[in-house]
Structures are given as structure tokens and as C-alpha cells.
Amino acid sequence: MPNSHIGISNLSLVFPSNMSALAGAPSSSAVGQPYHPSWSCGSLPITKLTPRPAFVCIRRSLPRLKPLRAALVEATPSSLPPAPKRDASVQVLALPADRADDIQAEARAMARAVNASLYSPELLASKYGSQPIKVVRRTLQILTALGSFGLKLFLDQRNRVFDKNKRLRAVELRTIFTRLGPTFVKLGQGLSTRPDICPPEYLEELAELQDGLPTFPDEEAFSCIERELGLSLDAMYSSISPSPIAAASLGQVYKARLKSSGKLVAVKVQRPDIEESITLDFYLIRWLGFFINKYVDVITSDVVALIDEFARRVFQELNYVQEGQNARRFKKLYADKEDIFVPDVFWDYTSAKVLTMEWVEGVKLNEQEAIERQGLKVLDLVNTGIQCSLRQLLEYGYFHADPHPGNLLATPEGKLAFLDFGMMSETPEEARFAIIGHVVHLVNRDYEAMARDYYALDFLSRDVDVTPIVPALRNFFDDALNYTVSELNFKTLVDGLGNVLYQYPFNVPAYYALILRSLTVLEGLALYADPNFKVLAASYPYFAKRLLTDPNPYLRDALIELLFKDGRFRWNRLENLLVQGRKDRDFSAKEALQPVLKVLLSPDGEELRTLVIKEAVRVTEAFTLSTISDTYKFIPDFMRSLVFNGNANGPLMMPDSELQSMTELRDQVIRIWGLLQSSEDFDPALLLPILQVLQQPEARRLGGRVVGGITQRLAARFLQQVLRAPPTVST
């Protein structure tokens, strides 16, 4: 067809009517339910079996013994003349049988979760506005706990011991949140990532909150499984643990073996009536947010908006089908690496309140001795987690928002397994590049540019003047950057930045706070194994690789800003970037060369071309003169005065320091070329596209300017030697 691009939003999936014929699919009550137009299966919407203008639905005729397959069908749009033959107008893209089965099973799981609740402040107000007794009872319970805490804070301030007792009060708040139940445990975890709301002492204590809560009766859990999936336990499992192996704030987990396939699975079951408890709590917390916004001037963030955002995430966690889809998306993006493992989802055994995933054998990442007994190293696993976290934050922008040690396992094969995908978040595209640019500005100590970065990061609104923030950044980072990369502690950096944010009208986006928490957790785990480990040093290879290879205009500008200063090229910076970037397994010498050339030859690259011409002349001169100097050393003494115009002491009339500087520049350029050549993907053929680009008119003009500059420079040097001019040359 002339236009072979298939618009995903216009695809129809056709499923066999006999769903129960699928291999391994239980004949649940969901089978045979009518299709719902709003169902979604990954990125492929599932529609009613009705004709659509641009697509036709067909069923493939298959032998009885072969597995049934779904088909994606592309047809000629109705607005076009009918094609003479069907084969010319219809293209059938058959999915593999196992993928088709998986899509159909996910559709059935979504049907079982069709009534899952979504967070709506309006619905909460409508529901609990007519239940005053229940609201008052829970309000008194919360006020009693939080009121006593607030009174202590008031007395601390009055007695001038507020700062002295910060750590003690932070511990008490953590205990109160744990006692008040799942909503407040989640709230405490959320606050632990908000440096714009909480002082550092509270951030540290609240970060220790874990989802360890008492279990609920096994009979209720098993009854929930049977009710949700429409089958008895005996029909689904050949065995299931009689008691939970783990308990969290929203549910508890059992280990089972599927009867249909014999595979070991983890079955997570939601706590009974937890939705009712959480909705009431968020109704009350939201009213508290209104009160804080109106009367508490110290907190500059919109507390109600933060509560709504947090509540939406918790409600997503209550829908286990959504969590399964999160896991599938996460696996697609990040499990392509050999050292990352994400378990599969078993959709036929999943509903809104029951999630069945592949069982993962492994050890929690904070259990160092158990990991070492398996012959593994904690630091290797932490480095894997850091690299994956950076990809989550800066590459695709979709990341795990609850990375506490219980959700990270070391498998016997040495892989890092991610668990629990209920709470996920996304980084806006603009912010991904702004974060890398922020790192460049930090390295250059350009605090004015750092302050302006907070606009792109959504830390500040555009109408806020960043001038008063610059001195605070300078005071903190000048001290922090006095450390070497190997000495700089990420947690110290984050805590110091948190103090800056706490003093100024920042509104830290949730995605940024959560990823900082993720990296801080990983560094904390590594410090148990190696007190000298620094997460920033482990992160440098990724940043260097992105700067060198990413063609994004923002990052190209950041690289140029990093490499050029005061009209001179900083070869040491390029060498360091290459040394660090090559440590990243995805580094490509080919990708590092071509984007830079495109910028150089772009219509807007005149300023850069001027700098490159000057640097090319300087490098060529350095190669020529240092080579002459090296050659001079091999000429016999009696010939030196004859060859070099009677000068037996040296071939060049120039200071030794200048000659040494040229020799160092030449050697550095040679080392950089060696780094590129030593890359695994280096091939001289990768220079062919560059040679093609050099045929462009702008490239030829650039080459002519470089040759002209080199000729003039060397001619001046030659005359200087012949005429024995003073041994200085203007640069």
C-alpha cells in the first residue's frame, strides 16, 4: 500500500468467540462478557466487533489443532477507490500465538477490573458529606494523634528548643503515621521525598517508613481470590502457601503454583475494605490541605494539589490490573538489559484486587551477607540500579516511584529484580534535558544558569526573580564542589540542596523528588558495603555518554558550553568525557562524532565555526612544531647547525614552556583519537558519512578557512625562524 503506517489508535483486534479454548486460560466468569468500547490493552484498544470505516475485521480460518491467533488488519480507507483485488488492499499482520493469547487474557483481566474506583475529590465530598458520624469518629482519631504532636511542636517553639528537638519530633511523627494506618504510611513516604515541605531531619525519618503492617485473616484473602477470579483455589493452584509470605500497606502476598502450567507465582491480595478507609482519610486530609494553604505561610507549595496528586497514585495502586500494565511497560523499556529482571504478569489470574506475577527467587538488596553468600557483590547490583534509575529518569521518563529495599531483589543469577509497580511516575521531556544541562552548569559553576534551569524544571514559575537564589547556590555548591568526584556524597548534596529549597519559594515537582529519593536509597545501600562509595561517581559515565551522543539540540548546546570557554577549546574536558562515557556499555563512537559535525555545519553554527577554525589552526601548529622538535632530537649534532641556520641549541626560536604546551596539546589530541578508535563499534567506515557531509558548500568554505589560517600561522613561524625574530608569537 502507498501508506503502510498503521495508526495504533485505529487498529481493531479480533478475538475468537471461544475464549476458553485458549491454552492455559481458566474458564472464569469473565469469559464471554460483552466487549466494552473503553477497554484498553496496552497500546492497542479493543473495540466492539462492529465495522469501522478504515478497517475491516476478519477471523482467520485455522486447523482445529493449531492455537487460535488474533489478527491486526489494515484495509484501504473507504474514501479511496476500491482496489481491484483484496490482496492489494488488505494487509494482515498476524501476531504470534502466545502474544495474541496474552492480549486476550489482559482484556479479560481489564473486564474484571472495569468497576475499579478512580480518585475524584467531588465524589468523595458527595459520599462523606452525608455520613457525619463516620467522619467525626475518624477525625477525632486523627486529631488526637496529630494534635498532640502539634502541641509538642508549639511548646518546643515557645521554649526555644524547636531546632534541638527536630530529630525527636521526626521520630514521633513516623510512629504516629504508622499507627494511623495505610493512608498515613503512604503519606509519610510521600513527604519523605518533599524537601520543599519538610526539613532534612523529617525527610530522613519518614524515609524509614516501610509497609510492614499486621496481616489480615487468610480466609478473607482466599475468599477474595475466588470471588475476583471466579474459580476455586483447587481449580487454579496445585499448591498455595497457607499464610502470607509478605505484608504491605495495601495487601499481602502468597506463594502458589499454577495448576495449568506448573509455574511458581506470587499472588498479591488486597486488604478488605481498604478502599473505604483510604477514601475517608483522603477526604479529611484534603480539608486539612485547604486549612494549610490558607493559614500556614511557611509552606509555599499548593498542599491541596499535592494531596490530590498523591491520592491519584494511591488509587492507581488499588487497581492491580493497572499495576500489571505498569509492570509490562516497565519491562518493555528497561528489561532489555541483561542485568535487569522484571517478572511477567499472569493476566488470567489477575483482577482489580488480585495480582498474579512470576515468582522471583532473590534476596533483598539490604541483606548484604545473604547476597555475598550467593557469590554476588552488592556494589555491582547498586551500580546496575543506578544506571537503570538514570535511564528511567533521563531516557524514557517513566520510572519506579517506590524504590525502597523491599522492592529490589538480587537474583541468584546476579540480576537486579524490580518488584511492586503500583506507584509509578513520569518525567516531562523538557525536564529530562534540563536536568542534564543542570549538571553541566553545576560542573562549570555557572550559578546564574543553574538558577534559570529551575524554570525548565518547574521548580519556579516564570514570574519569580531568581537573582536572590544565586548567592545561596554559590555558597553551598562552592563548598560541595571542593570535593573530588570520588569524595562528593550524593546524600550530602541532596540535603544541602534541600536546605536551599526549603528557604526559598520552590515547588519541587514530584518526579524530581522521587528520583532523588531513589538514588539516595541506592547510595545508602551501597554505603553498607563500601563506606567510600559515591553514587555521583557511578552516574558520571551515563551523563558523559548522553552529552557526547545525544543529538537533542538542548544537549548539543550543553556539550558546546562545557567544551568551550573564553574562546578556547578545553581538550581536557573532552578527554574526560570520553574516558567516562566509554565506561557506559551503550557508548558509541559513531554517535559521538556525527551530531557534533551537524551542529558545526548548521546555518546557526557560525560562532562555533569561528571557534573551531581557531582551534584547528592551534592544533595543526602544535602537531607541526612539536613534530619538528621531536625530529630534531634524532639529527646528529654536527648537522644541526647546518640544517637550522647555525642554531645548534634547538630547531625553533620559542620559549621551552610554549613548546612544552604544544607538545602536551598534541599528545592529548592523539589520546582522544585513541579513545575513539578503541571503542568496540569503531570502524573507519563510520567516517564515510562525515566525508559526504564535507562535500557540502559550507563544509568546503570551512575547510578553506582552516587551511588559510594554518598557512598564515606556519608562514609567520617560518619567517620568525629565518629572520631570528624575538621568540614570542601572538596567539
272: CB partners within 8 A, 6+ apart: 216, 220, 224
> In degrees rounded to 5, what are phi and psi of residue 74?
-110, 130
Q: Packing angle between helix 490-503 and helix 535-549, nearest 10 degrees? A: 80
Nearest CA among 314, 312, 219, 235 for reference residue 274: 314
Spatial separation of the C-alpha atoms in residues 314 and 316, rounded to whole Å: 5
Spatial separation of the C-alpha atoms in residues 320 and 252, rounded to whole Å: 13
Spatial separation of the C-alpha atoms in residues 219 and 242, rounded to whole Å: 10
Spatial separation of the C-alpha atoms in residues 447 and 453, rounded to whole Å: 10
Spatial separation of the C-alpha atoms in residues 588 and 551, rounded to whole Å: 13
Element (H, E) at 511: helix 510-529
Q: For 532-588, where are the alpha helices, taking DSSP H only?
A: 535-549, 553-563, 571-581
Whose grid coordinates read 567506515? 685
Cβ of 158: how many Cβ atoms within 10 Å?
9
Spatial separation of the C-alpha atoms in residues 207 and 188, rounded to whole Å: 8
488: CB partners within 8 A, 6+ apart: 480, 481, 534, 536, 537
> In degrees rounded to 5, what are phi and psi of residue 55?
-140, 150
Q: Cell for 205?
A: 525519618
402 is a catalytic site residue = yes
> In degrees rounded to 5, what are phi and psi of residue 268?
-95, 130
Q: Packing angle between helix 303-318 and helix 320-334, nearest 10 degrees? A: 90
Residue type at 470 in one-letter notation = V
Whether the CB-CB separation of 575 and 562 falls below 8 Å is answered with: no
DSSP-assigned letter for residue 345 = B
Whether the CB-CB separation of 522 and 389 falls below 8 Å is answered with: yes
Residue type at 564 in one-letter notation = F
Largest interatomic CA distance in the chain: 110
SS3 (DSSP) at 364: strand
Cβ of 571: how many Cβ atoms within 10 Å?
17
Establish how many alpha carbons lie within 13 A of residue 83's alpha carbon, considering only the half-sphere containing its beta carbon: 12
SS3 (DSSP) at 505: coil
SS3 (DSSP) at 428: coil
Nearest CA among 517, 134, 124, 507 for reference residue 293: 507
Whether the CB-CB separation of 453 and 438 falls below 8 Å is answered with: yes
Q: Which long-range contacts (CB under 8 A, 24 or more apart) does 34-40 make?
A: 36/111, 36/114, 39/107, 39/110, 39/111, 39/114, 40/110
Sign of CA dihedral 395, 396, 398, 402: negative
Q: Is 258 left (phi over 0), alpha (psi -120 to 50) or beta?
A: beta
Whether the CB-CB separation of 590 and 579 falls below 8 Å is answered with: no
SS3 for 108-135 is HHHHHCCCCCCCCHHHHHHHHCCCHHHH
Among residues 196, 402, 453, 584, which one is catalytic? 402
467: CB partners within 8 A, 6+ apart: 451
Q: For 274-352, where are the alpha helices, taking DSSP H only?
A: 274-295, 303-318, 320-334
Spatial separation of the C-alpha atoms in residues 388 and 334, rounded to whole Å: 7
Residues annotated as part of the active site? 402
